[in-house]
Amino acid sequence: MNSNFLNILRNQSATYTPLWLMRQAGRYLPEYRQTRAKAGSFLSLCKNPDLATEVTLQPIRRFNLDASIMFSDILVVPEAMGLNLHFTEGEGPKFDNPINNQADILNLKTIYPAHDLGYVMQTIKNLKQELPKNIPLIGFSGSPWTLACYMLEGGASKNYEKIKALLYQSPDTLHLLLNKIAIAVADYLIEQIKSGVDCIMLFDSWGGVLSEAAFKEFSLKYLDIVIKQIRSLGFSDIPIISFTKGGGNWIEFIDQIGCNAIGVDWTINLAKARKSTQKILQGNLDPVLLSVADSETIIKETKKILDSYYLANNNSYDRLIFNLGHGILPSAKPDNVATLIDTVHSYTQR
């Protein structure tokens, strides 16, 4: 496949800096909202391969993006493990039966991704048929730590009191849960690779709520376990991106695991990040800009990020994938997205 995105991940030359956006298939697009209404619910949309394929393709049709990410949700894994998931408008995801004790952990189901998450695999197969031949497909999962946060808290959380209570008072119990999740995540990602994805991304969305020592023990360790399991089964060539939101201070530690690229949010300068690793970097425009700024400001802020990286990287844009520092917001303006993409491509033309 002739792809600038894959070329960068393989440390090969590219004609410009590639760009894709986290949550690029989403509520900021009117066509997404129409398809979502047709599905009836967010979870129904995830579980319908035809509609999930359609919303994945929508931003690819509209914008000159360099990669596609399959439409799904990180919480389909804990749902397959036996937790009852639903999404409430305005409140986000909720589990009806969150984990409360060790017995709940022991009772979690072993997942068989080809069967239990077969709808995801069918979406991948559909997309590999329908995507333009030069657009690679990214598969993904939440990190074990991030999934454990949702499974214990029952949904999104401000202070993460339940999981942190377990972390400080019964760390062995938390390790038991994280080990179970890591096995499920590795199996899930391996099945995605077998189904045809060209790249894997691990979303450690809540790794940044930990102290440095706790991050190493309860998040990084399990990212490493997942990646090692994928590599040990012969998938040594599949590019893997690891993204810890709020993890800019820990790049030197993330550098030590077997990912090819490290995603960073807007709280760390790319030039500073480059000093901590020689791996590919992905990031890191503040997503709020696409909602509140005019095109002139977006161009200025994008060039500022690129200039900083260029100078820190020996006057080169190599080893960079441009992205947001987190997912695109529902309030983002599609015209601003087009401006961002055009700016990155034209400004970094080799």
Known binding residue 205? Answer is yes
Known binding residue 61? Answer is no
Known binding residue 25? Answer is yes
At 123, list the tokens.
């979406």
Cβ atoms of residues 17 and 321 within 8 Å: yes
By 3-state DSSP, what share of the chain in percent is helix, strand and coil, each rounded to 5? 50, 10, 35
| Residue 350 bears catalytic tag | no
| Residue 23 bears catalytic tag | yes
Looking at 23, 116, 198, 318, which residue is catalytic? 23
Q: For residue 90, what is the DSSP state?
A: T
| Residue 28 bears catalytic tag | no
Q: In what order do the strands lie in the sheet with 68-69?
A: 68-69, 137-142, 199-204, 240-244, 261-263, 280-285, 320-324
Known binding residue 23? Answer is yes
Known binding residue 256? Answer is no
Looking at 32, 36, 66, 318, which residue is catalytic? 36
d(CA 227, CA 285) in angstroms, rounded, equals 27
Looking at 27, 33, 62, 231, which residue is catalytic? 27
Known binding residue 160? Answer is no
Known binding residue 10? Answer is no
**Cα four-point dihedral sign 280, 286, 290, 296:** negative
Looking at 28, 66, 116, 150, which residue is catalytic? 150
Known binding residue 12? Answer is no
Q: What are phi and psi of 245, to 5 degrees?
A: -65, 130
Q: Which of 19, 42, 256 is nearest to 138 (CA)?
A: 19
Known binding residue 350? Answer is no
Q: Which of 240, 237, 238, 231 is nearest to 321 (CA)?
A: 240
Instruction: Give the pairing type, strands 320-324 and 280-285.
Output: parallel
Hey, which bits of 106-149 come out as E strands?
A: 137-142
| Residue 73 bears catalytic tag | yes
Helix (H, G, I), strand (E, B) or coil at 135: coil
Binding-site residue positions: 23-27, 73, 150, 205, 326
Residues with catalytic function: 23, 27, 36, 73, 150
Binding site membership for substrate: which residues? 23-27, 73, 150, 205, 326
